[in-house]
Amino acid sequence: MKIELAKVRDEFNMSESDCGSARVQVAQLTTKIKHLSSVLHKKDKHSRKGLLAMVQKRKKLLKYLRRTDWDSYCLVLLKLGLRDTADSKNY
C-alpha cells in the first residue's frame, strides 16, 4: 500500500516537494478507497464509516479543485477514471 501511494504521489505532484496539494490528496484518497473497498466485508461497520468519510473528503477536494484549477481537475479525472458528477446548481 505504501509503495502504491508513493507511486501515485510521484505521478500527480506538481513539484519535487509537493505532497499535499489537492491533486495529490485526491489521488491518494482514490488509491486508499479502491484498496479498502476491495477488502471490505459486509458486517464491518467501522471500516465502512471510514470509507464513507474518505469518499466525502475526496468529493470536497474535487469540488475545490474544480472551482480553482480546471486543468488539474480534468487531468485528475482522466487519469483516475472518475466521473464528473457536479450539479450545476451547486457551483
Fold of 2-83: Helix Hairpins (1.10.287)
6-22 pLDDT per residue, tens? 899 889 988 888 878 99
Take residue 76 and report the three cell numbers written for it: 485528475
What pLDDT digit, counting tens, does each position of 44-65 carry? 899 999 999 999 999 999 999 9
Global pTM? 0.85
Spatial separation of the C-alpha atoms in residues 45 and 70, rounded to whole Å: 36
CA proximity to 21, closest of 59, 61, 55, 66: 61
- Number of C-beta neighbours around residue 30 at 10 A: 21
Distances from the Cα of 35 to the Cαs of 60, 61, 72, 73, in angstroms?
Answer: 20, 19, 24, 22
Sequence spans of domains, the chain? 2-83
